[in-house]
Structure 1
Amino acid sequence: MLNYNERRVDVACGSTAGAIPQPTISRVATTNPVVSTTSPDVKRQATCANVVACGSTAGAIPQPTISCDATTNLVVSTTSPDVKRQATCANVVACGSTAGAIPQPTISCDATTNSVGSTTSPDVKRQATCATAAHSGRGQSGFTLVEVLVVMMIFAVIGMASYQVVDGMINTEQQSSARQSELEKLQYAMLIMERDIRQIVARPVRGAQGDDANMYLTTDRDLTNSDSGTLGFVRTGWQNPGDMFPRSALQPVVYRIYDDQLQRISYPYVDQVGADPNIQVVMQGVPELRFRFIADTTNTAPNWQDEWNRSGWLPLAIEMTMQTEDFGEIRRVFELNGGQFIEQDQQAEQEQ
């Protein structure tokens, strides 16, 4: 393959500006063979007699024969394999003679992409670009080590930034899901307590000897073995479809704190002594629970009481305050209704 350092070749008309540099040749004066040269074609087949005006043919390899078309100035036939590929007359004829010279190959470049658009040189077609064939005078090289390192650093920074963004999104999603789960547990606990407290009835619990305790509500921590505040009462509305179970719709319920858990303790019967309780953990992470009560405020201003010790009475409302690990202090006020329902039933039973 000819390597002209790929300058733009426009040397017809006797001008040498921008011409492809002639390869250098060193020969032995005695035998006239080529000793060294920068031309790969000369290394393969050429002799000094083929490229310079030696004046002497001593020891020279016979010149290859070339037949040119006088009209088109193209090679018709030749014994030179180099000329058959893409040689020019400057490589094969005597110095200064252009008789029968082969036209220089033409190269057309794209000004936008700086790439070879068209050329008559098969060598240039195989490996030439305008950056190497134009005025730069040197071949285009690949990426340098510094350029590769800069690109790798840029990709590393982009990758790290992308990882941090994705990791932040995942952590946010996990925290949001955990917070949502804790909020749902709190709402569930509030729903259960509201359902029970709103259905409190004035029904005293009989003791072991069958006597009425005469207390509709209890806040005795020793009685319920609670670590903090407690509330015990009897509620109605306990479903018993078709009277399938031998029990009434009444159910004793106790709320207490045990091992930082809000527990709901229920019993199957109101007056049964020694029955096994059903303990339900309503919510975790509740170290403190308090209750306050408000009495009838028909003629007086609301007066909240920390203890309820009125025998035979139910409060109008109960305030519940609990300290949670996830949400801090939660306060809720429950209004009671239907407290006289059981008393009316008891009066009806007594009249019968």
Structure 2
Amino acid sequence: MSYSLAEVAHLITHDAEITAVGRDLPLSRASMLQDATVLREHFGDYGRAAAELLNARRSSVDKLPAGWLACHDSAQQATPLPVAKVRAAHLKAMLGDTATAHDVTCSIGTEGQALAEAGLGYLGSDLDPSRTRMARHNLAETPHTLIFQADALVPATRGADVILADPARREGGRRITDPAKLIPPLPDLIDAWPGSELAIKCAPGLDFSKWEGMVSLSSVAGAVKEACLYTPGLSNGARREAIMIDRTGQVDRLDDRLDQRAGEDLAAAPGRFIIDPDGAVVRAGLVRHYAVRERLWMLDERIAYLTGDRLPEGRSGFEFIEQVPLKKLKGALAAHDCGSLEILVRGVDVDPDQLRKKLKLRGSKAMTVVCTRIGSLGVALICGPRVGGTTVEGKTA
């Protein structure tokens, strides 16, 4: 729930006091009513807004800069700053050092900070006046920015080098899966800015098959965060891209221009390790390209598991032990003295929770099983526990 303008003004004025009171509150689901009572005692009718601000900050501690104003919905949809910085660097490389971006759904201003840090000009607008007020507060010390209220479907500026947009992906607490039902609708947004270069953020699970430019999927620490649709002028000749950002901020980029060998048959028997590619690679449809780059191969041409004799640097995987039919998994795990199990499933109808109950593990070893399909057969790949990090001469460091 967003704030009224009066609530935003109160939050700005009393931010330090709200923060101080919040330090002594559990801010958990179980303490919700008790927290609300304490905050009403301190802030009266603004207690609800204070509670929402504290919870939004707590839930986005690794996503937003400390001290930013945000409501629950804006914090949930806000792009993680590392992803926004990669996008800003891409736009700068495509458009030049003096480019200006108009973010027509600026919300609380996450993209503005990243673009300004990259040295680009930033215009931010939003239909919600409380969001633009929060953005002005959040970006008050950020140079080359201008924030104002406007409808994303009614162009309020001319001459921006790129139109950046992030249509709302949820309504009434439910995720929107139809691009035509995003807020604003994706087709209407495209039609509103004819001839402009566009960078439109979307949920990663939408169907992008008809998009003519590049679709870039981003993950942070292995979790897929968003897709960004770039018009052809911002695509640098690529159609699909995966951006993988690790916990330290290191960026690994992969796109479909890599190697023509990605079209060859890459399937073969399991090697030393089984690798579950980063979700951004899978969502971008770049599993084969990743295999080529990392000198890996596939277990099955249609299934997104990889295998090889080394782990890609900085990635985790599982040392392969043996392959058995799914029906013989229980006996095989018992023979290996398995007592705890990580279960991965792709390509077969297996519920990990139900499978775990049926296995009734009683051993002492931690192991992994990859339930998948190779050809027409459902198989279980029994592996050791997850190993990962850097690799040195084929061994996990």
What TM-score do the two structures reach when normalised by structure 2?
Answer: 0.17
Q: Pick the structure with more strand per residue.
A: 2
Q: Pick the structure with more helix per residue.
A: 2
What TM-score do the two structures reach when normalised by structure 1?
Answer: 0.19
Q: Which one scores higher on RCO, CA 8 angstroms, separation ≥ 6?
A: 1
Structure having the higher Rg: 1
